Structure 1
């Protein structure tokens, strides 16, 4: 998960109100539960010291939430009397989370909205394609491309002139496949999608995939279900798209963990992976974190760290934070500090499972990172 969309949260000082909210069902009983949940969240913020204007801004945002539009709920971030950012969740929180803290509470967002890759679906036929983007915010149009419209159908005759016509049909298909592949490659780059799913008949899908740029083809899968024609969507197609997204997410985590295990500090060699708060804090200060790994049950997530106004002003000790130029550092959770640093430096973030196949917790303490360049371990 790339956290660039959280930029507004780091452009202004805190403290911050963070509420992960499930609006419940859209009926009378659900409305009553929603009202009680809003009261509980606001009461928690007040008890933790939130100012009245910020609490009211949160109350208004939660009260105005529509269960039909946000069935899994939203997270609301507010400071200084206004809601700065509200983000749709793809999974409902198991319990309501409300916090008033110097930094936004971001780790729950990784679990509730962060592991779902953005998928670009291409609905292909012989004349063109329609593109659709699938992400946490639901499907949205991502453009289309139209190729040559004639000739696109073969004939059954063996006559020479008909065979010549069929060659023209073949050329039309090939030209259209090339145009679709070119447009799909551009849509992939512009949309920031993680993977591509091709929908269409068995001839059209591989013809397009073979012409895609290498980087796009590596993240492209096909499904035999559905097509471009109106009414061709189905529950089977929807499940195939969601399964492609799940497999992509699992594969990314597995590859990152394999690289992490191979790259941890050895006795006499440099490493491109670190774990533990002190090493991660150092990497964050130097902008070396490429991928931050977060295991939500790890003990180190709540460990005290000290931060200043800038994302790279992060330290294990208060005196160290002062040495970075912050006169009045603030005590925060380690996961909040590291996620802020990751967002500011365009690092990726992955949630990893509680334990690896051998039962060992990876990374140790719940926090680790793959680095942008190697780290020379200190002499023993």
Structure 2
């Protein structure tokens, strides 16, 4: 059995029905026998999944993905529901811990942690003729574009006498016209892709013309990176650092909002019990989970529906569930958040003291 649903987004998984297979398989290794090492890891993971009760048909459906995982990435992520493989991803870094579980809710936080750092960004290498543009999108194929303007009188000449100023002005006008073409194309891509940043490099004067000719909504996204870059390749590497800073700022802003709302006794709650209760009531706008496996492995309870969650059997029974089942609190909370349209933020451990018990929520409304 193969899947036609492997491009499902994490949010779209909320409509699936468990139990679920969650596999994070280490597929790294530049050594000649890397493929054989991946096969051995998969065999070990398959035995663990089989022992947990995973149907053979699901294991058979997952196996083809493991065979072609190397060298596609360093972590193979597979999420399968009761019927089929629903999601497959290849992540560029090895997993901190390999995961192979079969349970009532999927294990999604490692994937969400990676996705929250994959912000869409445009990378631009510009010169006085035009620009090369790469649109880097989370979990999408990168798009490449080229904008080329006119080259007539593009180089400043140095004729003597009264004509010098006229020739130089003509070159300046052409550079600016070409920069306008690039700015117009960027405006189109901003509307299409909604990037968090536009990382630009290249000829200093061309960059300045681009900044001057861009609309405010484009100009506010521009991040200039310095260096001897004559193509987008090196700029893409620099863009990774820009994206990292933006992603870190997003997390810090979410934690700051959480702290502010808690301080005002307003739209925030913390701790396992209170947070799960607000998830059950669909109150949560943003779920914060400290990225600590020990904290998130503590038991919580859930029913057949993702929003039937609580810290105790009694709390879930009160929601009309006859037989609540245990599952790690991190997985229970994440699953409920996705099902109710909440954002999930993985909080680094250096901010753990800002989120009590490692679990908290910014609320849509208070009761």
Which moves more between the two structures, 339-348 or 83-92?
339-348
CA distance in 1, matches of 2:239, 2:345: 21
CA distance in 2, matches of 1:288, 1:179: 46
CA distance in 2, matches of 1:317, 1:222: 52
RMSD of aligned residue pairs (Cα, Å): 3.2
> 1:110 offset after TM fit, Å?
3.3
- 1:368 maps to what in 2? 360
Alignment partner of 1:351: what SS? strand
> 1:338 offset after TM fit, Å?
2.8
The 8 Å contact of residues 354 and 362 in structure 1, kept in 2 or not, is answered as no
- 1:68 maps to what in 2? 71
Aligned residue runs from structure 1 range 1-380, under 5 A? 5-65=9-69, 67-70=70-73, 72-80=74-82, 82-134=84-136, 140-157=142-159, 159-228=161-230, 233-234=233-234, 237=235, 239-264=237-262, 266=263, 269-297=264-292, 299-300=295-296, 302-309=298-305, 311-317=306-312, 321=316, 330-344=325-339, 346-356=341-351, 361-372=353-364, 375=366
Indicate how the Cα distance of structure 1 residues 314 and 193 shifts in structure 2: closer, same or farther if over 3 A, else same: farther
Which moves more between the two structures, 124-133 or 135-144?
135-144
Q: Compute the TM-score of the two structures, normalised by the length of structure 1.
A: 0.81
CA distance in 1, matches of 2:39, 2:193: 37
Indicate how the Cα distance of structure 1 residues 149 and 122 shifts in structure 2: closer, same or farther if over 3 A, else same: same
CA offset digits 1:267-304 (Å, max 9, x no partner): xx442332223333344345443332221216255331
> 1:134 offset after TM fit, Å?
3.5
CA offset digits 1:37-60 (Å, max 9, x no partner): 111111111111111101111222
CA offset digits 1:116-170 (Å, max 9, x no partner): 4333211212232222134565972243333444443322236545533433333
CA distance in 2, matches of 1:192, 1:184: 11
The 8 Å contact of residues 9 and 104 in structure 1, kept in 2 or not, is answered as no
CA distance in 2, matches of 1:323, 1:207: 64
CA distance in 2, matches of 1:217, 1:326: 53
CA distance in 1, matches of 2:326, 2:201: 51
Which moves more between the two structures, 90-99 or 218-227?
218-227
Indicate how the Cα distance of structure 1 residues 303 and 147 shifts in structure 2: closer, same or farther if over 3 A, else same: farther
Indicate how the Cα distance of structure 1 residues 258 and 187 shifts in structure 2: closer, same or farther if over 3 A, else same: same
The 8 Å contact of residues 174 and 207 in structure 1, kept in 2 or not, is answered as yes
Which moves more between the two structures, 152-161 or 114-123?
152-161
CA distance in 1, matches of 2:116, 2:156: 47
Gaps of 5+ in 1: none
CA distance in 2, matches of 1:219, 1:369: 29
Q: Compute the TM-score of the two structures, normalised by the length of structure 2.
A: 0.83
Aligned length: 360
> 1:201 offset after TM fit, Å?
1.6
Indicate how the Cα distance of structure 1 residues 282 and 43 shifts in structure 2: closer, same or farther if over 3 A, else same: same
CA distance in 1, matches of 2:304, 2:168: 70
CA distance in 1, matches of 2:215, 2:307: 37
